[in-house]
Homo-oligomer: A and B are copies of this chain.
Amino acid sequence: MTRVRDLSEEQILERIVPLLPRGSATLLGPGDDAAVLAAPDGRFVVSTDVLVEDRHFRARWSTGYDVGRRAAAQNLADIAAMGARPTGLVTSLVVPGDTELDWVTGFARGLADGCASTGAGAVGGDLSGGPCLVVSITVHGDLEGRSPVLRSGARPGDVVAHAGVRGWSAAGLALLETGLVRVPLSSAPLEVTDGVLLEDEWERLVTAYLRPDPPLAAGVLAGQAGATSMLDLSDGLLRDAGRVARASGVRIDLDAGAFAKDREVLRSAARAVAAATGLGDPGWGPGNADIDGLVGRWIWAGGEDHGLLATFPAGTRLPAGWTAVGQVHAAGQEDDGGEAGPAVTIGGEALDVGPGWDHFRA
């Protein structure tokens, strides 16, 4: 088994670079002091994100491929959230010397697959030893002549819309933490005791955690359709919606019944996780309220789905991939006290939505 300490940096790069996408905006790729990327409209969008082992991923669950996919996804989502099209990225990778070379080449393949739908290139990087795995990616995008879609542009009367999956990543993490799904994932679904192929569904949730697949094209479509604000949902819907509300000086009211399809997908996993974690009456196990509470927590507070939240002027025909999930109101308009009301409400109410909510601090 080859470990990275057995090879020089140049030998490792020789194995990685051929795995990486060149990219359609790349004017000069890896190998010199710097790369050169096209920026056709005279501007470019840039964002950086760092992933640290045991903070943002666990090596016992995530392969190198998974970490590459995740790193690409969460960075590309930041570009999409500006309404921009990703053009290229650079990567700093810190790896302990005893890391298997296969982890590093797997990482490169994951990065490449994460970029595949976008045409973005992996145009440069730096590699170093260190005490734990650290991945820092900087990604760039092209606004194609449009204005960037900021967090601060939501206006009262706008429709709030969502693209991507909701709560899947949090559910997938819970399935791993409770041992209900083990990695590596099997390639064939397993039949469970009641005769329903539930584990296939569960594996989709775990995959959403390990290899998030943000709705990158939906970001560009939102920009083209005149979205007034947008952001990447990385820290949970309520928390991130609060950022838009505060930046825009508005209140966001989310529909209590939104995300019906996601709830349906999450329900069997929530029942199993609730039972495995001892929710409910010791004799009877979790009831519907426990299960609904868990689904609600994943939907409203679950992080790392990397879906997109945007606002559109009332009457906008929502582009493909987007679903209306709420309304923008003037800030504090229904509040008769001295303090401004909550920045985000669900069905007009503050965030008390049943069991489980005590674990969440907005």
Interface residues of A (CB under 8 A from B): 27-28, 32-50, 52, 55-56, 77-79, 81-82, 84, 88, 90-94, 123-126, 128-132, 134, 136, 138, 140-141, 143, 148, 150-152, 230-232
- What's the nearest-Cβ distance from chain B to residue A237, in Å? 15
Q: How many copies altogether?
A: 2
Contact A47 B27 (CB under 8 A): no
Contact A46 B134 (CB under 8 A): no
A contact patch SS: strand
A142: nearest residue on chain B (CB-CB)?
Answer: B39
For the complex, give the distance between the alpha carbons of A165 and B43 in Å: 35
Q: Chain B residues near A40 (CB, 8 Å)?
A: 42
Contact A136 B50 (CB under 8 A): yes
- What's the nearest-Cβ distance from chain B to residue A100, in Å? 20
Contact B45 A36 (CB under 8 A): yes
Q: Chain B residues near A148 (CB, 8 Å)?
A: 28, 32, 34, 36
Q: Chain B residues near A56 (CB, 8 Å)?
A: 128
Q: Chain B residues near A130 (CB, 8 Å)?
A: 52, 55, 132, 134
- Give the contacting residue for A32; candidates B27, B52, B82, B129; CB below 8 A: B82
Contact B49 A92 (CB under 8 A): yes
- What's the nearest-Cβ distance from chain B to residue A135, in Å? 9
Contact B92 A126 (CB under 8 A): no
For the complex, give the distance between the alpha carbons of A143 and B129 in Å: 32
Q: Chain B residues near A125 (CB, 8 Å)?
A: 48
Contact A33 B78 (CB under 8 A): yes
For the complex, give the distance between the alpha carbons of A241 and B288 in Å: 71
- Give the contacting residue for A92; candidates B92, B131, B141; CB below 8 A: B92
